[in-house]
Structure 1
Amino acid sequence: MSRYRGPRLRVVRRLGVELPGLSRKTPRKAYPPGQHGQARKKRSEYAIRLDEKQKLRFNYGVSERQLVRYVRKARRAAGSTGQALLELLEMRLDNIVFRLGMAPTIPGARQLVSHGHVTVNGKVVNIPSYQCRPGEVIGVRDSDRSRQLVEANLQFPGLAHLPSHLEFDKNKLEGKVNGIVEREWVALQVNELLVVEYYSRKV
Protein backbone atom coordinates (compact mmCIF):
# COMPACT_ATOMS: atom_id res chain seq x y z
CA MET A 1 0.00 0.00 0.00
CA SER A 2 1.44 3.38 -1.02
CA ARG A 3 1.76 6.44 1.18
CA TYR A 4 -1.50 8.22 1.96
CA ARG A 5 -1.95 11.53 0.11
CA GLY A 6 -5.67 12.14 0.66
CA PRO A 7 -7.52 14.46 3.07
CA ARG A 8 -5.74 14.37 6.43
CA LEU A 9 -8.62 15.56 8.60
CA ARG A 10 -10.72 12.70 7.29
CA VAL A 11 -8.22 10.24 8.75
CA VAL A 12 -8.09 12.12 12.07
CA ARG A 13 -11.90 12.01 12.33
CA ARG A 14 -12.07 8.33 11.38
CA LEU A 15 -9.52 7.28 14.01
CA GLY A 16 -10.98 9.61 16.63
CA VAL A 17 -7.63 10.83 17.96
CA GLU A 18 -5.24 13.69 17.18
CA LEU A 19 -2.36 12.76 14.88
CA PRO A 20 0.20 15.53 15.55
CA GLY A 21 2.60 14.20 12.94
CA LEU A 22 -0.01 14.14 10.16
CA SER A 23 -1.93 17.39 10.60
CA ARG A 24 -1.96 20.49 12.79
CA LYS A 25 -5.70 20.96 12.28
CA THR A 26 -8.34 19.64 14.65
CA PRO A 27 -11.68 18.41 13.31
CA ARG A 28 -14.81 20.42 14.13
CA LYS A 29 -16.89 17.25 14.32
CA ALA A 30 -16.11 14.57 16.89
CA TYR A 31 -17.53 11.65 14.95
CA PRO A 32 -16.21 9.74 11.91
CA PRO A 33 -16.93 11.08 8.39
CA GLY A 34 -19.56 9.64 6.09
CA GLN A 35 -23.28 8.95 6.12
CA HIS A 36 -23.04 6.45 8.98
CA GLY A 37 -20.41 8.29 11.01
CA GLN A 38 -22.74 9.01 13.92
CA ALA A 39 -24.24 5.51 14.06
CA ARG A 40 -23.00 3.55 17.05
CA LYS A 41 -21.42 0.28 16.07
CA LYS A 42 -20.13 -2.55 18.19
CA ARG A 43 -16.47 -2.81 17.25
CA SER A 44 -14.66 -6.12 17.13
CA GLU A 45 -11.27 -6.72 18.74
CA TYR A 46 -9.75 -6.90 15.28
CA ALA A 47 -11.16 -3.46 14.40
CA ILE A 48 -9.70 -1.96 17.59
CA ARG A 49 -6.25 -3.41 16.85
CA LEU A 50 -6.48 -2.26 13.24
CA ASP A 51 -7.21 1.32 14.34
CA GLU A 52 -4.16 1.33 16.65
CA LYS A 53 -2.00 0.12 13.77
CA GLN A 54 -3.44 2.76 11.45
CA LYS A 55 -2.61 5.48 13.99
CA LEU A 56 1.07 4.57 13.71
CA ARG A 57 0.94 4.29 9.93
CA PHE A 58 -0.69 7.64 9.32
CA ASN A 59 1.04 9.60 12.07
CA TYR A 60 4.57 8.56 11.07
CA GLY A 61 3.78 8.42 7.35
CA VAL A 62 5.08 4.91 6.74
CA SER A 63 3.72 2.34 4.32
CA GLU A 64 2.35 -1.03 5.41
CA ARG A 65 5.48 -2.75 4.15
CA GLN A 66 7.72 -0.39 6.13
CA LEU A 67 5.69 -0.88 9.30
CA VAL A 68 5.91 -4.67 8.97
CA ARG A 69 9.68 -4.29 8.64
CA TYR A 70 9.80 -2.17 11.80
CA VAL A 71 7.74 -4.74 13.71
CA ARG A 72 10.12 -7.53 12.69
CA LYS A 73 13.10 -5.43 13.74
CA ALA A 74 11.43 -4.57 17.07
CA ARG A 75 10.85 -8.27 17.78
CA ARG A 76 14.57 -8.94 17.47
CA ALA A 77 15.39 -6.13 19.93
CA ALA A 78 15.72 -6.73 23.66
CA GLY A 79 12.87 -5.72 25.95
CA SER A 80 9.29 -4.82 25.07
CA THR A 81 8.46 -5.20 21.37
CA GLY A 82 5.93 -2.35 21.52
CA GLN A 83 8.43 0.02 23.16
CA ALA A 84 11.12 -0.94 20.63
CA LEU A 85 8.67 -0.30 17.77
CA LEU A 86 7.90 3.22 19.02
CA GLU A 87 11.61 3.92 19.49
CA LEU A 88 12.37 2.89 15.90
CA LEU A 89 9.63 5.15 14.55
CA GLU A 90 10.52 8.07 16.81
CA MET A 91 14.22 7.91 15.86
CA ARG A 92 13.53 8.29 12.13
CA LEU A 93 15.19 11.42 10.74
CA ASP A 94 11.94 12.95 9.46
CA ASN A 95 10.37 12.55 12.91
CA ILE A 96 13.41 14.03 14.67
CA VAL A 97 13.28 17.05 12.34
CA PHE A 98 9.57 17.43 13.16
CA ARG A 99 10.13 17.10 16.92
CA LEU A 100 12.91 19.72 16.79
CA GLY A 101 10.36 22.16 15.34
CA MET A 102 12.12 22.48 11.99
CA ALA A 103 8.93 21.40 10.17
CA PRO A 104 5.20 21.76 11.05
CA THR A 105 4.32 18.10 10.33
CA ILE A 106 6.12 14.84 9.55
CA PRO A 107 5.17 15.04 5.82
CA GLY A 108 6.68 18.56 5.85
CA ALA A 109 9.79 17.21 7.55
CA ARG A 110 10.02 14.38 5.00
CA GLN A 111 9.96 16.92 2.18
CA LEU A 112 12.62 19.03 3.93
CA VAL A 113 14.88 15.98 4.25
CA SER A 114 14.30 14.56 0.77
CA HIS A 115 15.04 17.95 -0.82
CA GLY A 116 18.46 18.00 0.84
CA HIS A 117 17.95 20.80 3.39
CA VAL A 118 18.96 18.72 6.45
CA THR A 119 22.40 17.55 7.57
CA VAL A 120 23.48 14.84 10.01
CA ASN A 121 26.93 15.43 11.54
CA GLY A 122 27.60 18.04 8.86
CA LYS A 123 26.72 15.83 5.87
CA VAL A 124 23.54 16.18 3.83
CA VAL A 125 21.21 13.21 4.37
CA ASN A 126 18.16 13.00 2.09
CA ILE A 127 16.73 9.71 3.41
CA PRO A 128 13.70 10.39 5.68
CA SER A 129 13.82 6.87 7.18
CA TYR A 130 17.44 7.29 8.32
CA GLN A 131 17.74 6.00 11.91
CA CYS A 132 19.26 8.68 14.14
CA ARG A 133 21.56 7.57 16.94
CA PRO A 134 22.46 9.22 20.27
CA GLY A 135 25.23 11.77 19.84
CA GLU A 136 24.33 12.76 16.29
CA VAL A 137 23.90 16.42 15.40
CA ILE A 138 20.99 17.41 13.16
CA GLY A 139 21.55 20.68 11.32
CA VAL A 140 20.51 22.77 8.34
CA ARG A 141 22.34 22.82 5.02
CA ASP A 142 24.58 25.88 4.63
CA SER A 143 22.44 27.74 2.11
CA ASP A 144 20.16 30.77 2.37
CA ARG A 145 17.16 28.84 1.02
CA SER A 146 17.51 26.05 3.59
CA ARG A 147 17.92 28.45 6.50
CA GLN A 148 14.94 30.55 5.41
CA LEU A 149 12.69 27.48 5.21
CA VAL A 150 13.64 26.25 8.67
CA GLU A 151 13.48 29.71 10.28
CA ALA A 152 9.95 30.18 8.89
CA ASN A 153 8.89 26.77 10.23
CA LEU A 154 10.37 27.48 13.67
CA GLN A 155 7.91 30.34 14.16
CA PHE A 156 5.03 27.84 14.15
CA PRO A 157 6.33 24.47 15.41
CA GLY A 158 4.07 21.42 15.24
CA LEU A 159 4.52 20.60 18.94
CA ALA A 160 5.18 23.08 21.73
CA HIS A 161 7.48 20.98 23.93
CA LEU A 162 10.87 19.54 23.03
CA PRO A 163 11.29 15.92 24.20
CA SER A 164 13.91 15.19 26.86
CA HIS A 165 16.16 13.19 24.50
CA LEU A 166 16.64 16.17 22.14
CA GLU A 167 18.16 19.63 22.44
CA PHE A 168 18.02 22.48 19.94
CA ASP A 169 19.99 25.70 19.44
CA LYS A 170 17.84 28.22 17.55
CA ASN A 171 20.80 30.52 16.85
CA LYS A 172 22.81 27.80 15.13
CA LEU A 173 19.70 25.99 13.82
CA GLU A 174 21.25 22.84 15.20
CA GLY A 175 19.78 19.99 17.22
CA LYS A 176 21.38 17.09 19.03
CA VAL A 177 20.10 13.61 19.84
CA ASN A 178 21.09 12.91 23.45
CA GLY A 179 19.50 9.50 23.84
CA ILE A 180 16.55 7.24 23.01
CA VAL A 181 13.03 8.64 23.36
CA GLU A 182 11.15 7.76 26.55
CA ARG A 183 7.59 6.40 26.28
CA GLU A 184 6.05 9.41 28.05
CA TRP A 185 7.39 11.76 25.36
CA VAL A 186 5.68 9.97 22.47
CA ALA A 187 3.11 12.56 21.36
CA LEU A 188 0.70 10.06 19.82
CA GLN A 189 -2.04 8.41 21.92
CA VAL A 190 -1.61 4.80 20.92
CA ASN A 191 -1.61 1.36 22.56
CA GLU A 192 1.48 -0.20 21.01
CA LEU A 193 0.71 -3.61 22.55
CA LEU A 194 -2.41 -3.86 20.39
CA VAL A 195 -0.28 -3.11 17.32
CA VAL A 196 2.05 -5.97 18.23
CA GLU A 197 -0.99 -8.23 18.74
CA TYR A 198 -2.36 -7.18 15.33
CA TYR A 199 0.83 -8.36 13.64
CA SER A 200 1.28 -11.47 15.79
CA ARG A 201 -0.47 -13.70 13.22
CA LYS A 202 0.57 -11.72 10.14
CA VAL A 203 4.33 -11.41 10.61
Structure 2
Amino acid sequence: MARYTEAKCRICRREGQKLFLKGDRCYTDKCAYERRPYAPGAAGRNMRRKMSDYAIQLREKQKVRRMYGILEGQFHRYFERADAMKGVTGTNLLVMLERRLDNVVYRLGFANSRTQARQLVRHGAFAVNGRRVDVPSFLVRAEDIIEVREKSRKIPVIAEAQDVIARRGCPDWLESDGAAFKGTVKAMPKREDIQFPINEQLIVELYSK
Protein backbone atom coordinates (compact mmCIF):
# COMPACT_ATOMS: atom_id res chain seq x y z
CA MET A 1 0.00 0.00 0.00
CA ALA A 2 1.26 3.51 -0.84
CA ARG A 3 2.01 5.67 2.15
CA TYR A 4 3.37 9.13 2.87
CA THR A 5 6.97 8.93 4.09
CA GLU A 6 8.03 12.58 4.25
CA ALA A 7 7.80 14.94 7.22
CA LYS A 8 4.21 15.09 8.48
CA CYS A 9 4.59 18.71 9.52
CA ARG A 10 4.84 19.62 5.83
CA ILE A 11 1.27 18.38 5.41
CA CYS A 12 -0.03 20.80 8.04
CA ARG A 13 1.90 23.66 6.48
CA ARG A 14 0.61 22.75 3.02
CA GLU A 15 -3.01 22.69 4.23
CA GLY A 16 -2.56 25.89 6.22
CA GLN A 17 -3.91 24.30 9.39
CA LYS A 18 -2.65 22.19 12.26
CA LEU A 19 -3.89 18.62 11.70
CA PHE A 20 -2.34 17.09 14.86
CA LEU A 21 -0.52 14.40 12.90
CA LYS A 22 2.35 14.05 15.38
CA GLY A 23 0.38 13.63 18.57
CA ASP A 24 1.58 15.38 21.71
CA ARG A 25 4.29 17.29 19.85
CA CYS A 26 1.55 19.31 18.14
CA TYR A 27 0.53 20.74 21.53
CA THR A 28 4.03 22.03 22.32
CA ASP A 29 6.20 24.88 21.09
CA LYS A 30 8.13 22.34 19.00
CA CYS A 31 5.27 22.21 16.50
CA ALA A 32 6.67 23.12 13.08
CA TYR A 33 3.40 24.74 12.00
CA GLU A 34 3.52 27.14 14.95
CA ARG A 35 7.06 28.11 13.99
CA ARG A 36 6.47 28.35 10.24
CA PRO A 37 2.75 28.80 9.51
CA TYR A 38 3.18 29.07 5.76
CA ALA A 39 3.38 26.63 2.85
CA PRO A 40 6.60 24.59 2.49
CA GLY A 41 9.06 25.32 -0.29
CA ALA A 42 11.16 28.29 -1.34
CA ALA A 43 8.13 30.40 -2.30
CA GLY A 44 5.90 29.29 0.57
CA ARG A 45 6.29 32.43 2.70
CA ASN A 46 5.41 34.75 -0.17
CA MET A 47 2.57 32.72 -1.68
CA ARG A 48 -0.43 35.00 -2.17
CA ARG A 49 -2.25 33.11 -4.94
CA LYS A 50 -6.02 33.47 -5.19
CA MET A 51 -7.62 30.03 -5.14
CA SER A 52 -10.43 28.94 -7.44
CA ASP A 53 -13.59 27.29 -6.09
CA TYR A 54 -12.27 23.93 -7.27
CA ALA A 55 -8.95 24.46 -5.49
CA ILE A 56 -10.73 25.34 -2.23
CA GLN A 57 -12.86 22.21 -2.46
CA LEU A 58 -9.83 20.07 -3.27
CA ARG A 59 -7.82 21.43 -0.36
CA GLU A 60 -10.70 20.69 2.05
CA LYS A 61 -10.91 17.10 0.81
CA GLN A 62 -7.14 16.67 1.04
CA LYS A 63 -7.12 18.10 4.56
CA VAL A 64 -9.71 15.61 5.83
CA ARG A 65 -8.18 12.69 3.96
CA ARG A 66 -4.71 13.39 5.34
CA MET A 67 -5.99 14.04 8.85
CA TYR A 68 -7.53 10.55 9.00
CA GLY A 69 -4.65 9.00 7.03
CA ILE A 70 -6.74 7.56 4.20
CA LEU A 71 -5.74 7.00 0.59
CA GLU A 72 -7.72 8.61 -2.22
CA GLY A 73 -9.48 5.47 -3.45
CA GLN A 74 -10.64 4.47 0.00
CA PHE A 75 -11.79 8.00 0.79
CA HIS A 76 -13.85 8.08 -2.41
CA ARG A 77 -15.48 4.78 -1.45
CA TYR A 78 -16.40 6.26 1.94
CA PHE A 79 -18.05 9.15 0.12
CA GLU A 80 -20.03 6.80 -2.13
CA ARG A 81 -21.27 4.89 0.92
CA ALA A 82 -22.17 8.14 2.68
CA ASP A 83 -24.04 9.38 -0.40
CA ALA A 84 -26.08 6.15 -0.56
CA MET A 85 -27.12 6.41 3.11
CA LYS A 86 -30.10 8.31 4.46
CA GLY A 87 -29.38 11.73 5.88
CA VAL A 88 -26.86 14.44 5.02
CA THR A 89 -24.01 13.08 2.90
CA GLY A 90 -21.28 15.23 4.43
CA THR A 91 -22.31 14.35 7.97
CA ASN A 92 -22.53 10.65 7.08
CA LEU A 93 -18.99 10.82 5.71
CA LEU A 94 -17.49 12.40 8.82
CA VAL A 95 -19.36 10.04 11.15
CA MET A 96 -17.99 7.00 9.29
CA LEU A 97 -14.45 8.37 9.51
CA GLU A 98 -14.86 8.94 13.24
CA ARG A 99 -16.10 5.36 13.71
CA ARG A 100 -12.92 3.84 12.26
CA LEU A 101 -11.18 1.71 14.88
CA ASP A 102 -7.83 3.47 14.45
CA ASN A 103 -9.51 6.82 15.08
CA VAL A 104 -11.40 5.47 18.11
CA VAL A 105 -8.17 4.06 19.59
CA TYR A 106 -6.59 7.50 19.15
CA ARG A 107 -9.61 9.29 20.60
CA LEU A 108 -9.64 7.00 23.63
CA GLY A 109 -6.03 7.89 24.39
CA PHE A 110 -4.41 4.54 23.63
CA ALA A 111 -2.22 6.07 20.91
CA ASN A 112 -0.49 9.39 20.48
CA SER A 113 -1.62 9.86 16.87
CA ARG A 114 -3.86 8.18 14.31
CA THR A 115 -0.78 6.85 12.52
CA GLN A 116 0.43 5.22 15.71
CA ALA A 117 -3.08 3.89 16.42
CA ARG A 118 -3.26 2.35 12.95
CA GLN A 119 0.03 0.54 13.50
CA LEU A 120 -1.05 -0.78 16.89
CA VAL A 121 -4.34 -2.04 15.48
CA ARG A 122 -2.58 -3.80 12.61
CA HIS A 123 -0.32 -5.54 15.10
CA GLY A 124 -3.34 -6.94 16.92
CA ALA A 125 -3.03 -4.89 20.10
CA PHE A 126 -6.79 -4.37 20.50
CA ALA A 127 -9.95 -6.40 20.88
CA VAL A 128 -13.51 -5.27 20.21
CA ASN A 129 -16.11 -6.99 22.40
CA GLY A 130 -13.51 -9.58 23.35
CA ARG A 131 -12.55 -10.40 19.77
CA ARG A 132 -9.15 -9.49 18.30
CA VAL A 133 -9.48 -6.97 15.47
CA ASP A 134 -6.50 -5.98 13.33
CA VAL A 135 -8.32 -3.95 10.65
CA PRO A 136 -7.90 -0.17 11.16
CA SER A 137 -10.98 0.59 9.01
CA PHE A 138 -13.27 -1.55 11.21
CA LEU A 139 -16.33 0.56 12.08
CA VAL A 140 -17.35 0.52 15.72
CA ARG A 141 -20.98 0.57 16.88
CA ALA A 142 -22.77 1.90 19.95
CA GLU A 143 -22.02 -0.12 23.11
CA ASP A 144 -18.89 -1.70 21.61
CA ILE A 145 -16.07 -2.21 24.12
CA ILE A 146 -12.52 -1.65 22.90
CA GLU A 147 -9.78 -3.18 25.05
CA VAL A 148 -6.01 -3.34 24.93
CA ARG A 149 -5.21 -7.03 24.78
CA GLU A 150 -3.41 -8.46 27.81
CA LYS A 151 -0.11 -9.08 26.05
CA SER A 152 -0.06 -5.54 24.62
CA ARG A 153 -0.61 -3.61 27.85
CA LYS A 154 3.11 -3.21 28.47
CA ILE A 155 3.75 -1.49 25.14
CA PRO A 156 5.42 1.83 26.14
CA VAL A 157 3.62 4.02 23.58
CA ILE A 158 0.22 3.05 25.01
CA ALA A 159 1.23 4.14 28.51
CA GLU A 160 2.77 7.35 27.15
CA ALA A 161 -0.41 8.18 25.23
CA GLN A 162 -2.50 7.77 28.39
CA ASP A 163 -0.34 10.37 30.10
CA VAL A 164 -1.22 13.07 27.56
CA ILE A 165 -4.89 12.40 26.76
CA ALA A 166 -5.91 15.18 29.15
CA ARG A 167 -4.46 17.68 26.67
CA ARG A 168 -6.86 16.77 23.87
CA GLY A 169 -9.72 15.24 25.88
CA CYS A 170 -12.05 12.36 25.08
CA PRO A 171 -15.20 13.07 23.03
CA ASP A 172 -18.58 12.71 24.69
CA TRP A 173 -19.61 9.72 22.58
CA LEU A 174 -16.73 7.69 24.01
CA GLU A 175 -15.79 6.73 27.57
CA SER A 176 -12.18 5.92 28.38
CA ASP A 177 -10.99 3.85 31.34
CA GLY A 178 -7.22 4.00 31.12
CA ALA A 179 -6.66 2.07 34.35
CA ALA A 180 -8.60 -0.89 32.93
CA PHE A 181 -7.11 -0.47 29.45
CA LYS A 182 -10.52 -0.23 27.84
CA GLY A 183 -12.99 2.19 26.37
CA THR A 184 -16.69 2.13 25.54
CA VAL A 185 -18.62 3.55 22.60
CA LYS A 186 -21.48 5.19 24.49
CA ALA A 187 -23.33 6.31 21.35
CA MET A 188 -22.78 6.92 17.68
CA PRO A 189 -20.88 10.16 17.00
CA LYS A 190 -22.83 13.21 15.89
CA ARG A 191 -21.71 16.13 13.75
CA GLU A 192 -21.37 18.39 16.77
CA ASP A 193 -18.96 15.91 18.37
CA ILE A 194 -16.40 16.66 15.65
CA GLN A 195 -14.90 19.91 16.85
CA PHE A 196 -12.14 20.17 14.27
CA PRO A 197 -12.95 22.90 11.70
CA ILE A 198 -14.15 20.99 8.62
CA ASN A 199 -16.47 22.22 5.89
CA GLU A 200 -17.73 18.89 4.60
CA GLN A 201 -20.08 20.57 2.11
CA LEU A 202 -17.03 21.53 0.04
CA ILE A 203 -16.13 17.83 -0.24
CA VAL A 204 -19.67 16.98 -1.32
CA GLU A 205 -19.55 19.72 -3.97
CA LEU A 206 -16.19 18.44 -5.22
CA TYR A 207 -17.35 14.86 -5.70
CA SER A 208 -20.68 15.97 -7.14
CA LYS A 209 -19.14 17.71 -10.15
Band the TM-score falls in, shorter-chain normalisation: over 0.9
Task: Indicate the residue corresponding to 1:53 in structure 2.
Answer: 61
SS in 2 for 1:157: helix
TM-score of the superposed pair, with normalisation by structure 2: 0.90
CA–CA separation in structure 2 for the residues paired with 1:82 and 1:155: 33
- Displacement of 1:188 in angstroms is 2.7
8 Å Cα contact 1:99-1:159 kept in structure 2: no
The change in CA–CA distance for 1:112 and 1:189 in structure 2 (over 3 A counts) is same
Task: Determine which of 119, 125, 134 is the counterpart of 2:133.
Answer: 125
CA–CA separation in structure 2 for the residues paired with 1:123 and 1:7: 35
Unaligned 5+ residue runs, structure 2? Answer: none
CA–CA separation in structure 2 for the residues paired with 1:35 and 1:132: 43
The change in CA–CA distance for 1:159 and 1:116 in structure 2 (over 3 A counts) is farther
Task: Determine which of 157, 160, 177 is the counterpart of 2:165.
Answer: 157
In terms of fraction of residues, the more helix-rich structure is: 2
8 Å Cα contact 2:127-2:149 kept in structure 1: yes
8 Å Cα contact 1:101-1:159 kept in structure 2: no
SS in 1 for 2:146: strand
Task: Indicate the residue corresponding to 1:13 in structure 2.
Answer: 13
Task: Indicate the residue corresponding to 1:31 in structure 2.
Answer: 38
Identity %: 41
Task: Determine which of 141, 153, 170 is the counterpart of 1:146.
Answer: 153
- Number of aligned positions between the proteins: 199
SS in 2 for 1:189: coil
Unaligned 5+ residue runs, structure 1? Answer: none
- Displacement of 1:142 in angstroms is 1.1
CA–CA separation in structure 1 for the residues paired with 2:61 and 2:100: 18
Task: Indicate the residue corresponding to 1:2 in structure 2.
Answer: 2
CA–CA separation in structure 1 for the residues paired with 2:73 and 2:131: 28
Task: Determine which of 82, 86, 89 is the counterpart of 2:90.
Answer: 82
TM-score of the superposed pair, with normalisation by structure 1: 0.92
8 Å Cα contact 2:82-2:89 kept in structure 1: yes
- Displacement of 1:13 in angstroms is 0.4
SS in 1 for 2:135: coil
Q: Which is bigger in relative contact order (C-alpha 8 A, separation at least 6)?
A: 1
SS in 1 for 2:64: helix
CA–CA separation in structure 1 for the residues paired with 2:183 and 2:82: 26
